[in-house]
Amino acid sequence: MKDIYKLFMSYLMEHKDDPLSRDVVFNLPYQLLRSENGVSVLRKRGAFFSGDNLVDFLLRDVPIVKAGIYDPAAGCGDLLLRYLDKLELAASFRETMQEWESIVFAAELEPSFVKLLKLRIWLLLCLKYHVVTKLGELVIPDLKKRFAGVVCRDAFKYLPETMPTIVIMNPPFQQVDSKSIYSWGTGKVSYAAIFLYEMYKRFPKSRILAILPDVLRSGSRYEKLRTTVAPDLESAVRVYGRFDKKTDIDVFVLDHRPDMRQRVLRNVGRKQGRMICHDFDVHVGSVVPHRDTLKGRSCYFLTADNVPPGSNIIRVKEKTKSVHKPVKGPFVVLRRTSSPSDKIRCVSSIVSSSHDFHLDNHLIYLKPRGHKSELKLCQDVCKFFSSQECSDIVSRLIRCRHLTVRIIRNLTYKGGK
């Protein structure tokens, strides 16, 4: 990775007549990092920094307090700086510097990021106190020994001197080997999951503000993590959407307040009604055409192509053999592919005959559980799937482009007895 501190310093030298602006302090470092490093280098390090909109969203309802604040994956401070920017200033530059030195804690693995982070905090103070007008007038002090709480360390081996009131983080999202030390996840897991779990464990009394990949909230792989942390996490979750224009990953923000008792990490917009899992068995179709051998019983074969949305199916032209157990009608079929931009998130159809069907694994099916009026149940749930209410709830719960069985099972619809 190109040394971002050197790049930033060169910029300052080459633009001596430019004003010390917000843009230089807040936006320039990430612009330089992105222009000088390929995406694969950034991905390896997980170096995707938070911008104004995302941080404003994260801090929307958070009182900004002058108290210990810790960023365990600080980068060069894009998130931390935006928090500090909102703090009330003391009477003088010196006093504020002293205050911030006693409350700011940060860990980061990349040495050049740490150097730049310290410099940017100092520059932010220069900007706020109008210390200089031009970049050429800056006299940068030796900051090595300043901000002792800002360290070039592995966050899992560092503990701030005082327990922070706030832990704020946008951890790296890449997949890492969990080394099988976590009961909630083995093999490759999102690094963000490890950060969330570790920080929650280390700082149970801190308010945890985090930007996290949507998969942690909605993916079935992280169900165990959610149940591990949710009973005590006392958290709040808000869906944000795409990280930024250049980074196509959906994120949510978490605000875990120790003073509140909420279990929103497991959030399902529940209203009056019955959960789908009480009336239906929900599964993914089991046939994978390019992988399965064509053996077994021949039955009608449902795929995303021969199930028109909103249709009532009795039989289809296509048939296939499969060793998997066929599904007997009536049942409801859902397309698994579903984008947050789709008007209807759960595109459903009813199979109303009692024939046997094999189903492609791009489909989810809901088989009524031995009720007398199975068809009526199917109609009730399809009515719910086609409603705006259902699409809104699903969009809140899941931003990735595939519906999951867990989400469908836990939805509440008005139907059943």
**Which residues in this chain contact ligand SAM in the complex, by CB under 6 A?**
45-50, 71-75, 78-79, 107-110, 113, 154-156, 170-172
List Cα–Cα distances, 152 to 110, 166, 209, in angstroms: 7, 20, 21
User: Which C-beta is closer to ligand SAM: that of 110 or that of 360?
Assistant: 110
By C-beta, is 108 or 279 nearer to ligand SAM?
108
Q: In a 3-state reduction of DSSP, which class is residue 287?
A: strand
Query: Do the Cβ atoms of 116 and 77 come closer than 8 Å?
Result: yes
**Which residue number, 167 or 407, has a Cβ lying nearer to ligand SAM?**
167
Report the C-alpha gap between 37 and 162 in whole angstroms: 36
- Smallest separation (angstroms) from ligand SAM to the CB of 78: 3
Q: What is the dihedral of CA 381, 383, 386, 387, to 10 degrees?
A: -100
- Give least dist CB 118 to ligand SAM, A: 14
Cβ-based nearer residue to ligand SAM, 86 or 369: 86
Closest CA to 286 of 338, 350, 363, 347: 363
The CB-of-105 to ligand SAM minimum distance in angstroms stands at 12
Cβ distance to ligand SAM smaller for residue 83 or 280: 83
Please give the Cα distance from 168 to 256 (Å, whole number). Answer: 10
Cβ count near 13 (within 10 Å):
9
Q: How far is the CB of 256 from ligand SAM (least distance, A)?
A: 17
Q: 3-state class of 180 per DSSP?
A: coil
Minimal distance in Å, beta carbon 371 to ligand SAM?
A: 49
CA distances (Å), 212 to each of 30, 100, 165, 243, in order?
Answer: 19, 26, 20, 10
Report in angstroms how near the CB of residue 201 gets to ligand SAM at its nearest. 15
Could you tell me the smallest distance in angstroms from the CB atom of residue 9 to ligand SAM? 19
CB 264 within 8 Å of CB 236: yes
Q: Which is nearer to ligand SAM, 48 or 331 (CB)?
A: 48
- How far is CA 148 from its chain centroid? 31
Residue nearest to ligand SAM (CB): 75
Residue 106 vs 359, nearer CB to ligand SAM = 106
The answer to whether 276 and 409 are in contact (CB under 8 A) is yes
Residue 405, SS3? helix
DSSP state of 264: G
CB of 54 to ligand SAM, least distance (A): 8
Residue with Cβ nearer ligand SAM (45 or 263): 45
